[in-house]
Structure 1
Amino acid sequence: MVTDSVGRFLAALDPDHRKTIGAMPREEQEQLAAAWERELEADTELDTLDELSPPAAEAEAARRILER
């Protein structure tokens, strides 16, 4: 089980994005993971989804971060 924020962020991504982000420098990965965690904490819609399916909420937050 992955416990660091970058690992959790990468796990929430679809395989194609996981490969692309995984090839980035660690610093960039950490910045994206931090933005992902902020998205998870700040968005109340994700709170509801998180209660139903934590992996779905994490994947949705990751998708939003990549769209920015």
Structure 2
Amino acid sequence: MPMDSVARFLAVLSPGDRRTVDAEPRGEQERLAAAWESELEADVELDTLDELSPSAAEAEAARRVLDRREG
């Protein structure tokens, strides 16, 4: 069974960030996961990184989404 976008997003976060996001309401988790997917799709730099290391690209996109949220 494929994981939903929230589960995939949570999987790439650091343990501390995962706990923080996991404590958020489901709607906020879905918003963050959608922002993460958009970041992965839209950023050309991440496309290049994705060719070298898909997991690194996913983690970088997640970091950017969380940085924007906190900033």
Amino acid of the residue matched to residue 24 of structure 2?
A: M
Using the TM superposition, give the Cα deviation of residue 3 of structure 1 relative to its aligned residue in structure 2, in angstroms.
1.8
Which residue is equivalent to 2:8?
8
**Local SS of the residue matching 1:17:** helix
Which residue is equivalent to 1:64?
64
In the superposition, the TM-score normalised over structure 2's length comes to 0.91
What is the rounded CA distance, in whole Å, between the counterparts of 2:2 and 2:30 in structure 1? Answer: 15
Which residue is equivalent to 1:49?
49
What is the rounded CA distance, in whole Å, between the counterparts of 1:16 and 1:50 in structure 2? Answer: 24
Aligned residues: 68
**Identity of paired residues, percent?**
74
Using the TM superposition, give the Cα deviation of residue 50 of structure 1 relative to its aligned residue in structure 2, in angstroms.
0.5
Which residue is equivalent to 1:25?
25
In the superposition, the TM-score normalised over structure 1's length comes to 0.95
* Structure 2: gaps (5+ residues): none
After TM superposition, which residue ranges in structure 1, 4 or more long, deviate above 2 angstroms?
Answer: none
**Local SS of the residue matching 2:24:** coil
* Structure 1: gaps (5+ residues): none
Contact 1:22 1:29 in 2 (8 A): yes
